[in-house]
């Protein structure tokens, strides 16, 4: 399997309320959010009585070829596109997830990662809950399905149990609900169509595709409930004031045509390139981006420095993920097939290449080598964010510290490994300045190690050990029927 070269996001969510073609609009919304998850996709629709669903493994147009959408009738729909990080890669973990319980039918789509998932799951299992998947989204579904006790609002009480990062879409027979964690790690916004239909989406780029007008972001800690009476809001965490939006959404994950927290992602990335130029002035002949993630920052560097911008690497947009690599020959081809170098642009030149991040360093090393093989006199590597030194526990698939290049090597050691003439990263202060927001607005744990929501991996390990011990004891004691 192809080695991961960039961190993966967990997923994207999209929902529509009040449109006769809700499922079709959701399909296009997921299409626009494909960058947030490329492993599975699904849509659940509702006509006020029945849920209808279709989901599968693959890209959105592979899962929905046309005829599948015709059966997804109703004026409500939610959709999801995902990567497998929490939960393995198979159709059972594809979302949205649905359940038919005493409270009616419920569907859920989730973006993020719950840091207390193991604890919540164990509590539910002790109550007798039976899980069908390994994704933490099902934990939320089980808590929502619990009967109301003492007049307590199950929706609010469930949301208040969750810790970590989540942007949720929940659908019942009568309403569409959106919820965001109190720190606001992951984005979620509200749109409105000309016919009055409401839209909830991970990013505004999906609103643009279906010509919905952006209304506002869902606030951190807010629950929005949409039904025939319109939209109403509940603040489930009025006591929470600290905000911790994931700054890596600006660096890499969000599409450049999206607006997040009143900032256009493209402009922020260009500003990051400008900050790179101010912090790291270099003498060179051309600035070259690593497509597509380095394009904006490289342009910003070129604009600020006055060094010409050249698209020397040409990306093949029709290359999918590679699974079969039977020989070293095929592995070598796989490196070149995604990005091809225009040799004439770099020969005998001092070249600056700009990328958004270096995780393991293997891909960047190959790009440097290809430039030098093409005759570049010098190759200087610039990165439009600080070094990644810590794993993410809030919904981005950063490797553990042992596999993060910057966590285990000095700047000089990384530069030597890349065979570059120089290597420089954007500073944490420069990255924050580029956003136009105060540092206190962001989660930067992957850079500075300061986690806004505590997470103790030993707790999960202890729970898993107890579960294994219980399982082994049942196997050992086979003298009695297990259900008596």
Which residues are catalytically annotated? 11
Cα–Cα–Cα angle for 344, 6, 203, nearest 5°? 105
Report which of 259, 291, 407 is spatially closest to residue 356, judged by C-alpha positions: 291
Q: Which of helix, strand or coil describes residue 82? A: strand
Q: CA–CA separation, 411 vs 414, rounded Å?
A: 5
By three-state DSSP, how is residue 47 classified?
coil
Q: What would the two tokens of residue 31 be?
A: 């299409």
196 CB burial (10 A radius; 0-12, 13-18, 19+) = exposed
Q: What share of the chain is helix, strand, coil (3-state, %, to 5)?
A: 35, 25, 40
CA gap 242, 162 in Å, rounded: 17
For strand 11-17 and strand 76-82, is the pairing parallel, antiparallel, or unpaired?
antiparallel
Neighbours of 306 (CB within 10 A): 8
In angstroms, rounded to a whole number, what is the distance separating the alpha carbons of residues 269 and 35?
Answer: 17
Q: Residue 238: CB partners within 8 Å, gap ≥ 6? A: 221
β-strands 286-289, 350-355: how paired?
A: parallel
Cross-strand bridge partners of residue 378: 350
- C-alpha 45/C-alpha 26 separation (Å) is 9
**Cβ(396)–Cβ(246) below 8 Å:** yes
Q: Which two tokens stand for residue 321?
A: 């993920």
Q: How far apart are CA 212 and CA 441, in angstroms?
A: 28
CA quadruple 180, 183, 188, 192: dihedral, nearest 10: 80
């Amino acid at each position: 399997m192809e080695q991961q070269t960039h961190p993966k996001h967990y997923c994207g969510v999209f929902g529509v309320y009040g449109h006769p073609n809700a499922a079709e609009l959701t399909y296009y919304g997921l299409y626009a959010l494909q960058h947030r998850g490329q492993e599975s996709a699904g849509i659940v629709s509702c006509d006020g009585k029945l849920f209808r669903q279709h989901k599968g493994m693959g890209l959105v147009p592979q899962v929905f070829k046309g005829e599948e959408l015709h059966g997804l009738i109703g004026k409500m729909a939610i959709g999801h596109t995902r990567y497998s990080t929490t939960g393995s890669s198979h159709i059972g973990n594809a979302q949205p997830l649905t359940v038919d319980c005493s409270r009616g039918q419920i569907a859920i789509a989730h973006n993020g990662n719950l840091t207390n998932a193991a604890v919540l799951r164990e509590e539910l299992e002790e109550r007798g809950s039976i899980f069908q998947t390994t994704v933490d989204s099902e934990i939320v579904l089980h808590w929502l399905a619990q009967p109301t006790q003492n007049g307590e609002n199950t929706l609010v009480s469930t949301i208040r149990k969750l810790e970590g990062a989540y942007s949720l879409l929940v659908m019942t027979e009568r309403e569409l609900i959106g919820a965001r964690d109190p720190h606001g790690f992951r984005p979620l916004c509200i749109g409105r169509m000309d016919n009055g239909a409401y839209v909830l989406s991970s990013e505004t780029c999906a609103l643009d595709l279906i010509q919905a007008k952006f209304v506002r972001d869902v606030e951190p800690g807010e629950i929005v409930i949409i039904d025939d009476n319109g939209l109403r809001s509940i603040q489930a965490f009025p006591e929470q004031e600290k905000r911790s939006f994931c700054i890596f959404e600006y660096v890499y994950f969000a599409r450049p045509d999206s607006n997040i927290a009143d900032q256009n992602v493209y402009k922020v990335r260009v500003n990051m390139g400008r900050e790179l130029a101010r912090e790291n002035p270099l003498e060179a002949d051309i600035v070259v981006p690593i497509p597509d993630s380095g394009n904006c920052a490289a342009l910003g560097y070129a604009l600020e420095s006055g060094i010409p911008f050249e698209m020397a690497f040409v990306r093949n947009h029709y290359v999918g993920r590679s699974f079969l690599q039977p020989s070293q020959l095929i592995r070598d081809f796989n490196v070149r097939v995604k990005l091809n170098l225009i040799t004439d642009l770099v020969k005998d030149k001092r070249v600056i290449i700009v990328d958004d991040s270096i995780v393991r360093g293997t891909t960047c090393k190959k790009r440097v080598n290809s430039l030098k093989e093409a005759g570049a006199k010098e190759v200087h590597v610039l990165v439009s964010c600080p070094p990644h030194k810590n794993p993410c526990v809030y919904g981005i698939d950063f490797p553990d510290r042992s596999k993060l290049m910057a966590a285990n090597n000095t700047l000089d050691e990384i530069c030597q490994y890349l065979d570059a003439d120089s290597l420089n990263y954007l500073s944490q202060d420069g990255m924050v300045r580029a956003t136009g927001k105060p540092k206190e607005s962001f989660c930067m744990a992957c850079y500075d190690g300061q986690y806004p929501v505590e997470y103790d991996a030993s707790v999960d390990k202890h729970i898993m050990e107890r579960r294994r011990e219980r399982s082994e004891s049942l196997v050992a004691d086979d003298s009695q029927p297990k259900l008596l």
